[in-house]
């Protein structure tokens, strides 16, 4: 028993049809992928942007905390200087 006869394949013709099909399909696939991936890329960009904003807010909060502590230190120094100035004024005042 013999199977059906095998016909010779024209390799040049098959490659030509394959290449012709690819010439049309590659740009179509590229455009499709661009439109499909654009929302994903924008979402990733927004996530990174919000993370950057969160980091920026954290840094600003740290800076504000440091400034508040420095201001508190300056206020306490000013209070001590006033007390010292009043003490010196009392020392210099003539006794009655």
Would you write out the chain's pLDDT as a tens digit for each of its 96 residues?
Answer: 677 777 788 889 999 999 999 999 999 999 999 999 999 989 999 888 888 888 888 999 999 999 999 999 999 999 999 999 999 998 888 876
Distance CA 64, CA 69 (A): 9
Distance CA 67, CA 61 (A): 10
Q: Which alpha helices (DSSP H) does 1-96 contain, by range?
A: 11-92
Residue 47 lies in a domain: yes
| pTM for the full predicted model | 0.46
- What are the distances in angstroms from CA 29 to CA 21, 22, 38? 12, 10, 14
Residue 79 lies in a domain: yes
Structural domain span for residue 89: 24-96
Residue 66 lies in a domain: yes
Which residue in the block uniquely carries the two structure tokens 């010292």? 84
Look at the chain and report how many structural domains it folds into.
1
């Amino acid at each position: 028993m013999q199977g059906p006869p095998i016909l010779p394949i024209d390799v040049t013709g098959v490659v030509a049809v394959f290449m012709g099909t690819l010439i049309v399909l590659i740009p179509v696939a590229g455009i499709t992928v661009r439109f499909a991936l654009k929302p994903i890329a924008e979402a990733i960009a927004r996530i990174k942007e919000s993370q950057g904003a969160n980091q920026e807010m954290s840094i600003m909060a740290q800076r504000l905390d440091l400034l508040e502590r420095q201001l508190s230190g300056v206020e306490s120094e000013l209070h001590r200087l006033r007390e010292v100035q009043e003490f010196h004024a009392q020392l210099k005042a003539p006794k009655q």
